[in-house]
């Protein structure tokens, strides 16, 4: 029982450290824009970027998102953006 409590305590501390406010904002921004652009690419170009990953549109999509993730990381850290400033539950 003591081992389980210690393990859960370590997991909880790691969870709090990884999912800090800055990282939560980055996850939300990347997920929302990724979902919207994936639906857009699927409807406009009729390419499923998940299945047709060697298609030219898919390669451009993944290149865009690799750059977007780096930009979001720097942007959120530099400007200290808070999407949910009053959310103190998590």
Residue 67's pLDDT band (boundaries 50, 70, 90)? very high
Please state, in angstroms and as integers, the Cα–Cα distance from residue 65 to each residue in 17, 20, 48, 53, 80, following that order.
25, 22, 15, 13, 21
Residue 87 pLDDT grade (very low, low, confident, very high; cuts 50, 70, 90): low
**pLDDT of 84 strictly over 80:** no
* Cβ(47)–Cβ(62) below 8 Å: no
DSSP code of 54? T
- The answer on pLDDT for 86 being more than 80 is no
Contacts of 38 (CB under 8 A, 6+ apart): 49, 50, 61
């Amino acid at each position: 029982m003591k081992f389980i409590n210690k393990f859960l305590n370590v997991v909880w501390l790691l969870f709090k450290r990884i999912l800090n406010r800055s990282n939560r904002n980055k996850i939300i921004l990347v997920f929302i824009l990724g979902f919207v652009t994936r639906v857009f690419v699927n409807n406009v170009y009729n390419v499923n970027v998940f299945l047709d990953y060697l298609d030219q549109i898919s390669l451009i999509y993944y290149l865009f998102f690799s750059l977007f993730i780096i930009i979001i990381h720097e942007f959120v850290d530099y400007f200290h953006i808070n999407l949910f400033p009053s959310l103190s539950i998590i």
